[in-house]
Amino acid sequence: MWIILPLILVFLAIFILLKNRAQTDLKIFDPLAGAVNVNENPRDLNKKDYVLSLVNSYDPEPNWNPSKQTSTFNEPEVIASAAIMVDLDTGNVLFEKNSTQRKKIASLTKIMTGVLALEHLNFDDKVTVSQKASTIGENAMGISAGEIYTVEELMYGLVLNSGNDSAYALAEASAGNVETFVKWMNVKAGELGLKDTYFADPSGLDDSTYSTVSDLVKLTRYALKSPKFREVASTLEKELYGDDHKYLYLYNQTNLLSTYPGVRGVKTGYTEEAGLCLVTYALNDGKEVVGVVLNSIDRKGDMILMLDHSFSSLGVNVVHNLL
């Protein structure tokens, strides 16, 4: 009896160890939300998990961070609660205000939505609009249930019109359902080293989403690695024709694309709680900068001041009559 009991305990310990190991193998670790069971929600198109469904991806460079602020002169007074401007070539911070404070980010959330859609879907994949996606409300691309759009078309609606409907359509097409997609958003945040970022939905309507201007620079820098993201973000207007959907005209009125020299877009955001938010990418004389403004009442004015200051600090004279 005394010999059998230790053997039973040994076998029991081995069984528990193997069981726990098997369960661990079924999970992706998300540093923000814990382990995510990738088999929890079966997905369309026979895609079993986040990793196996990837069709495009880039080096996440989780250890890249905007570096310490360089010495600059005549710093502008911006209204935003938090703001930053970074030289993408060097990582140097050219302007900073409360860069590590967590803030609500509204539709800047859609930068991550676009990143994941482009990584898990092909540009020419076709997406049938669900009833849920078509009725999300507020900012909309204008899609209707049963219509069929390409991922490319939905990306233009996501960025130019800040369409909540296109955000949900892309989330469902990528992950099969919105709940799984949101988990993926936080998994991706972990991969990119966004330590002060959490996503609650794909559109930005849920104000429990938060980030920092510093994290948003990292996210935008990663998004710009995709030529397709750059193409969409830099587009001022787009007409969509198709046999499977209505005609749509999309126009981006809010990100200095047609007014400030060198601006190549990225994304705007607004909710009552988040205030006016803006991420802007600009290129002049070979100098690339990304700026972020959170919780402002004049996001374009703040961004113009930061762009002028930053390009001047880099030795680039940008001529405009915006101020």
Distance separating alpha carbons of residues 12 and 174, to the nearest angstrom: 41
Distance separating alpha carbons of residues 261 and 318, to the nearest angstrom: 7
Our answer to whether residue 107 is catalytic in this structure is yes
| Residue entry with tokens 């390409």 | 150
Q: List Cα–Cα distances, 138 to 59, 157, 162, 165, 180, in angstroms.
A: 35, 13, 10, 9, 23
Our answer to whether residue 110 is catalytic in this structure is yes
Query: What would the DSSP string read from start to end of 240-261?
Result: E--SSS--EEEE--SSSTTTST
| Residue entry with tokens 């929600």 | 41
Name the active-site residue from 53, 99, 107, 166: 107
| Residue entry with tokens 């923000």 | 32
236: which 2 tokens?
């001022």
Name the active-site residue from 53, 99, 134, 162: 162
Our answer to whether residue 162 is catalytic in this structure is yes
Nearest-10 crossing angle of helices 164-175, 109-120: 40
Backbone phi and psi for residue 293, each to the nearest 5 degrees, phi listed first: -125, 130
Q: List Cα–Cα distances, 24 to 35, 37, 121, 276, 306, in angstroms.
A: 8, 9, 27, 42, 47
Helix (H) or strand (E) segment spanning residue 278? strand 275-284
Distance separating alpha carbons of residues 80 and 82, to the nearest angstrom: 5
Name the active-site residue from 97, 103, 110, 287: 110
| Residue positions annotated with a catalytic role | 107, 110, 162
